[in-house]
Amino acid sequence: MNYQWYPGHMTKAKRMMQENIKLIDLVIELVDARVPLSSRNPDIDELAKNKSRILLLNKFDLADAEYNKKWSSYFKEKGFYAVEIDSRSKTGMKNIQKAVQEACKEKIERNKMRGIINRPVRAMVVGIPNVGKSTFINSFAGKACAKTGNKPGVTKGKQWIRLNKGLELLDTPGILWPKFEEQAVGMRLALIGSMNDEILNIDELALELISFLEKNYPGSLMERYETDRKTENTFEILKEICINRRCYLKGEEPDISRAAAIVLDDFRHGRLGRITLEFPNEVQSNS
C-alpha cells in the first residue's frame, strides 16, 4: 500500500502557521510517544527555526513505559526540553510550566531588561493530525476550549486560547507532509490513526501490525484473542482473531475486514497493552 495523505486543508494550515509564526515566542510540538520520530513533521523544523521549542511526548499512557524513558533521554541528549504527558488524564502536565519557563528564559529576561513585565508567552501548538493537540490545550487550560475527536482532521482553523498563567496558546490543525521518505513512516502514522482510515487498506494495515506485534510484543495477541501461536503466518493469525471475535460472513467464511478493524481499534485504544512502534536503538542518524 502506498501511504500518503496531504489534503488541501493541510496546505492551507501550513500557510496560516507560516503567517502567524512571527507572533510566536515558543513552539510546542506534540509527538506521539508510540512513534516519537515518525510523528515529527520535518516541515515543523523549518517553521520553528530560531524559535524556542519544547517537545511533548503525548499519549505516553499508550506507549511502552521502558521506551518512554529511552525516548525522553534520546531527545534530552539532543538538547530538547522534552516532557512525557498524558493529555487525557493530565499526567505530567505540571512539568510543562517549568519547561516553558526554561525554554523562554532568554526572551523573558530580554523583556525584563526592556521594562516589559508580565507579557504573556505566546505559543503555537503544532503536530501531526490526531496527536492530541486540542486535548492538551483543554487539559492545560483546565477547561474545554478546543474541539477534540478520535479521528484526524478535527481542528480546521486556528484558535487562540488565553490562559491566566502568562501563556497564550494557538491551536492549529494537524499537518502531515507531501511525501514520506520511507513508507514505514507512513505505515506507523496510519497505525496510530493520523491518516484518514478511508484512504487506507485496513486489512493490509492490520497484517502489518500483527507482524510487528508477533516480533516485538509476542503474547499480546494471544492474550487478547486466545490465538494459539501454532502459526507465524499473519493472515492465519487474523483468521484466528475472526474466530475468537466471531467475525463471519455468510456461512462460516471469516470476515477478515471486520477482524482487521477490531485489531486496529484495540491497538489504538491500548487494549493490546502499552506498545511502542519504533525504538531509539534502531535510529540511524535521524535529526
Ligand X SMILES: Nc1nc2c(ncn2[C@@H]2O[C@H](COP(=O)(O)OP(=O)(O)OP(=O)(O)O)[C@@H](O)[C@H]2O)c(=O)[nH]1
Contact set with ligand X (CB under 6 A): 58-59, 61-62, 86-88, 127, 129-135, 148-150, 152-155, 173-174
User: Cα separation of 132 and 87, whole Å?
Assistant: 7
Which residue's Cβ has the minimum distance to Mg ion? 155
Minimum CB separation of residue 47 from Mg ion in Å reads: 17
Binding mask 102-141 for Mg ion (x = CB under 5 A): -------------------------------xx-------
Taking the least distance from each CB to ligand X, the nearer of 52 and 138 is 138
Minimum CB separation of residue 150 from Mg ion in Å reads: 11
> Can you tell me which residue has the cell 525522553?
72
For 31, 56, 87, 218, 233, the CA distances from 159, given in Å and listed in that order, are: 20, 20, 18, 43, 48
Minimum CB separation of residue 203 from ligand X in Å reads: 24
Tell me which of ligand X, Mg ion, none is bound by residue 41, counting a contact when its beta carbon lies within the kind-specific cut-off of 5 to 8 angstroms: none
Taking the least distance from each CB to ligand X, the nearer of 173 and 254 is 173
Minimum CB separation of residue 127 from Mg ion in Å reads: 9
Which residue's Cβ has the minimum distance to ligand X? 174
Strand order from edge to edge, sheet including 52-58: 82-84, 52-58, 26-32, 121-126, 167-171, 159-162
Q: Which of 52, 68, 138, 155 binds Mg ion (CB under 5 A)?
A: 155
User: Cα separation of 91 and 96, whole Å?
Assistant: 11
Per DSSP, the residues of 120-171 read PEEEEEE-STTSSHHHHHHHHHTS--S---SSS----S-EEEE-SSSEEEEE
The size of the interface with Mg ion (CB under 5 A), counted in residues, is 4
Where in 38-134 does DSSP place strands (E)? 52-58, 82-84, 121-126
User: Cα separation of 263 and 261, whole Å?
Assistant: 6
Residues 6+ apart with CB under 8 A from 115: none
Minimum CB separation of residue 101 from Mg ion in Å reads: 25
Q: Are 2 and 161 in contact (CB under 8 A)?
A: no
Tell me which of ligand X, Mg ion, none is bound by residue 132, counting a contact when its beta carbon lies within the kind-specific cut-off of 5 to 8 angstroms: ligand X
User: Cα separation of 16 and 28, whole Å?
Assistant: 16
Is 87 a binder of Mg ion (CB under 5 A)?
A: no
Tell me which of ligand X, Mg ion, none is bound by residue 149, counting a contact when its beta carbon lies within the kind-specific cut-off of 5 to 8 angstroms: ligand X
Tell me which of Mg ion, ligand X, none is bound by residue 93, counting a contact when its beta carbon lies within the kind-specific cut-off of 5 to 8 angstroms: none
User: Cα separation of 75 and 202, whole Å?
Assistant: 32
User: Cα separation of 70 and 285, whole Å?
Assistant: 16
Taking the least distance from each CB to ligand X, the nearer of 108 and 170 is 170
Minimum CB separation of residue 139 from Mg ion in Å reads: 13
Minimum CB separation of residue 132 from ligand X in Å reads: 3
Q: Which residues are near Mg ion by CB under 5 A?
A: 133-134, 154-155
